[in-house]
Each structure stands twice: as C-alpha cells, then as structure tokens.
Amino acid sequence: MLVAPLLFSCRKGKPSTKTYRFTETMQVDGLSRKYVLNLPPNYYEQSGFSLVIAMHGGGGSAAQFESTSLLTQKANSAGFIVVYPEGTGVINTWNAGTCCGPAVTNNINDVKFISMLIDKLIASYKINPKKVYATGHSNGGMMSYRLACELSTKIAAIAPNGSTMVVTQPCNPARAVPVLHMHSKLDQHVVYTGGYGNGVSGVYCPPLDSVFNVWSLKNNCTTTKQTIFSNSNYTLTRWLNCTNNVTIDYYLTNDGGHGWPGGLPGGPNSDIPSTSINANDLLWSFFQQYQLP
C-alpha cells in the first residue's frame, strides 16, 4: 500500500502541514463511517480534480481494496483523487438492495453515507463536483448500481466489476448514466448468466443481460448491443445512441474469476484476477469521457 509523504495541508484555507492521505470517519445515522482518502502528487499545484469512489466487496475493507485493486497507483499517476469508503458490520458489507449481509439486515442507509461523503469531500478538497464517479467490486459493484439509480445527480458514471444490480426499488435515475461493467466468464460467485452462485449465499443475482436491458431503456439507447471487439481473451459489447451520448460498455473476459482485473487476489483464498484487461486503465479512460451537466 502506498504511503505518501507528508509536506503541508490539503485542506482549503489551512496552510499548515501538507498531507496526501487521510483515514477519517464521519457520523451517519449514529454510526461512525470510515473512509480512506488519497490525493495525487500534483494536488497542490492544480485544481478541479476528479473524484473516484471505490467500494470494496463483501467482507473486504477500505485498506484491503486499496491494496489489492492497485487503484491508488493509478490515481497518483493519472492525477485524480480516490476515496475508499468502508461498509458496516463485523464482516463489512454494503446495502445494495437484496445484498449483502448485515448491511441489508440492519437496513443501513449506504446511499445516504455516500451522498454525505461526496458533499464533505467537495467542500473540503479541490474536486470538480461534475466529475464524481463510482466503482466497486462484487458487493461494492452492486452498490455502484444502486448509486446510479438514486444519486445520478451527483455521480457522473459508474464502473462495476464482478457484480450485478440487486436494487429492491424501481431504478429511476434523473439522467442517463454511463455504465462500464467488467466481468469474468469464470466468476462463480456472481455468475454472469444469473443465479445464486457460491459467494452470496441465499441471494439471487440477476443475469447481466437483464441488467443491461434495464440501463439501455433508462438511457434511451436506440441502437441494440453491438460487439465492438472479440478475441480469445475478452469480448467488448457496447450499447450506443443513448441520451446525451452516453454508452454502456461490457467487458467479459475468458480468464480470471471473481477478482479485480489487473489487480491482486482479494485474499489468500481468492481467485486470480483476469490479466486480459486492466480495470483501472479502463475505468479511468471511460470516466474521462463524462461529467455531470
């Protein structure tokens, strides 16, 4: 995990010590919610930074996802701010709808947490409010979809990985939301063809085709899905001619499993991630195409 040097403050109007990394908490509905924030090396010389919200999978943590996704390294080299919020429970989970675990059982309002976190970070750091994005793995990817449904006025685009959409309320975004989805054919935890899998016990995961059908309707895409690229490593499917020129991009790899493409295994017994694509490169290239109106 990267530990950036301490120089002098990143807070607006506080010319004390400059810091590039923070592990902080905020109170939401009586709960102390944790997050890890990383500022890129050029933070003090520039302004109008993009913010990427990166959410861990069920049972993960902010520190774990930062370490295994390698997203901080990408953020530092590309020059964007990344925040790793943390779920709740003894085994950290997100309330993405029907999944997962204690967050659902306890009806944790994770949408409120992320909304408040966005407001706090925009008020405290040099972030362009039109350039806020969400990504996540597994349960964190599911949470990305819920945010796209409920916080489309704050989040410009999403990039879920190894996940599906499990919202329990009708998805009614206020605007068309660009979607980049990454998945492996070999993922047996969240199976791309739908079902119960072996990673989210008792939770039915809708097939991805149905998820993309929902978003193509929500985004008013008039062109049916098209295969943009396909080889022995992966297939890229895209939905075009959508409102405000947004797209839905779907990368399906033939290698890997339930892991972050181009990253490290999430734990000692986790799948080896795909090497056919690099999630960090793809999501940053995708996010740069979009901002809020």
> Residue 9 domain-assigned?
no
Give the residue ranges of DSSP H helices in the chain: 62-69, 71-78, 101-105, 110-124, 139-150, 208-218, 279-287
User: Domains in the chain: how many in total?
Assistant: 1
3-state class percentages of the chain: helix first, strand second, coil last, to nearest 5: 25, 25, 50
> Residue 16 domain-assigned?
no
* DSSP letters for 195-244: B-TTTSTT--B--HHHHHHHHHHHTT--SPPEEEEE-SSEEEEEE-S-GG
| Mean pLDDT (10-residue bins), the chain, 293 residues | 35 65 97 98 97 98 98 98 98 97 96 98 98 98 98 98 97 98 97 87 91 98 95 98 97 98 94 98 98 97
> Residue 142 domain-assigned?
yes
Which pTM does this prediction carry?
0.93
> Residue 74 domain-assigned?
yes
The answer to whether 264 and 279 are in contact (CB under 8 A) is no
Calpha distance 193→186 (Å, rounded): 11
> Residue 293 domain-assigned?
no
> Residue 117 domain-assigned?
yes
Question: In this structure, what CATH number is given to the domain that contains residue 93?
Answer: 3.40.50.1820
> Residue 173 domain-assigned?
yes
Calpha distance 218→173 (Å, rounded): 8
The answer to whether 59 and 91 are in contact (CB under 8 A) is yes
Return the pLDDT at 199: 67
Range of the domain at 164: 21-287
> Residue 11 domain-assigned?
no
